[in-house]
Amino acid sequence: MNFLMLSGLSALLHGYVAFRLIPDLAAFPAARLVLGGVLIASALLIPLGLMARRLAAPPLADRLSWAGLLCMGLFSSLMVLTLLRDAASAVLWGVHFLAPDGLALAEWRGASAQAVPLLGGLATLLGFWNARRTAAVVRVDVPIQDLPAAWHGFTVAQISDIHVGPTIRQHYLRRIVERVNTLGADVVAITGDLVDGRVSELAAHVAPLADLRSRHGTFFVTGNHEYYSGAQAWIDELRRLGLTVLLNEHVVIAQAAAGDAGRPLVLAGVTDFSAGHFDPAQRSDPAAALLGAPADAVRVLLAHQPRSAAAAAEAGFDLQLSGHTHGGQFYPWTWFVRLQQPFTAGLHQWGTLWVYTSRGTGYWGPPKRFGAPSEITCVRLVAA
């Protein structure tokens, strides 16, 4: 979509909200003026923000991105609330038609027209705070059948979907790294969608990942956004930083206790579920990721999308760690994620496979999280 088409669509959608709300704010001229100004500014800034990299160079491009994405977060709430108001108005109009003296529709229109921007603004402010804070640690115990005592308590610190880019920079990522390092995990796993941009633009902002600390190292698998951003260049850069990138392959983790003759632990990783569309040589393949692995191993898979679960279960994995969904990030998108993915967030089972889906550690697009807080996950293996 080019800039003119995007601007036209933005004007149309903003015009709809203005048409539905501003006439019913006649008793509040100051509110009409403020809402009208916000909608005009938003209609202009959203397409400018989305096209910022094409229209300007840093730092102007970054400032336009910030402004446009903030407006997008606000307008998303305004649009949804306006549509809900219209649906409620249609129901009330039907009631009024059947019982003309039962409702004061004029009062409803005025009060609801005030409520939409107030609620939209409040949701955006709370969502901004929730998105920009350092993600909280979520601790999850996963019961593994016949888990050897040597692996009981083995921990994986999972971070996912950080989306380093126009509004997420080095200082944001450094806070995440510092919090992960307080966990003293056995392994750190990064389950994709780390970046939104090229290595040449963002290498310095991803550099804090070199400071991640754990007993056995940091492991990374690609998400779909890596393929939008030059996947091979990012794979090379992350390896340069000391991360182990798993592309349909695995590592065998050393025994947790010296002299323990129990089952080994295999940590495998696959490319993104959609990687084959970008590079046929990188088609996601959980079975290939296990080639040559010990047959009796405890098997943990890193896979960006929960949709890998069917193939992971068939390959014989015990646990899959995923992200991608952001838990929906903010309403109403939290309700639509399940139309594409088998799981939205949290711990679930697919047959004998456990799947943990992170809500993500950063955010994508608008700096807004509402109803789906970010997380740093500390996954602990325990005996079933």
Residue 123's beta-bridge partner residues?
A: none
Which class for 4: exposed (0-12), middle (13-18), buried (19 or more C-beta within 10 A)?
A: exposed
Supply angle C-alpha 343, 344, 349, rounded to 5.
Answer: 30
Go through 111-147 and write b for each residue having 16 or more CB atoms within 10 A of its CB, e for each that does not.
ebbbebbeebeebbeebbebbbeebeebebebebeeb
Cα 233 versus chain centre, distance: 22
Q: Could you tell me how many residues make up the chain?
A: 384
Superfamily of 136-383 according to CATH = Metallo-dependent phosphatases (3.60.21.10)
The stretches of the chain forming alpha helices (DSSP H) are 3-21, 29-50, 52-55, 60-98, 105-132, 170-181, 199-206, 224-228, 231-240, 275-278, 286-289, 309-315
Residue 258: the pLDDT is 45
Helix (H, G, I), strand (E, B) or coil at 380: strand
> What's the mean per-residue pLDDT of the chain?
94
Gap between the Cα atoms of 87 and 209, Å rounded: 47
Is the peptide bond prior to 332 cis by the omega test (within 30 degrees of 0)?
yes
Residue 92: the pLDDT is 85
pLDDT block averages, 10 residues each, the chain of length 384: 91 97 93 96 96 87 95 96 94 76 77 96 97 98 93 97 97 98 98 97 97 97 97 98 98 68 88 96 97 94 98 98 96 82 96 97 96 97 94
Gap between the Cα atoms of 343 and 323, Å rounded: 10
For residue 312, give both structure tokens. 């992971």
Could you tell me the residue ranges of all domains in the chain?
3-132, 136-383
Residue 82 burial (CB count, 10 A): 23
80, HSE (Cβ side, Cα atoms, 13 Å): 15
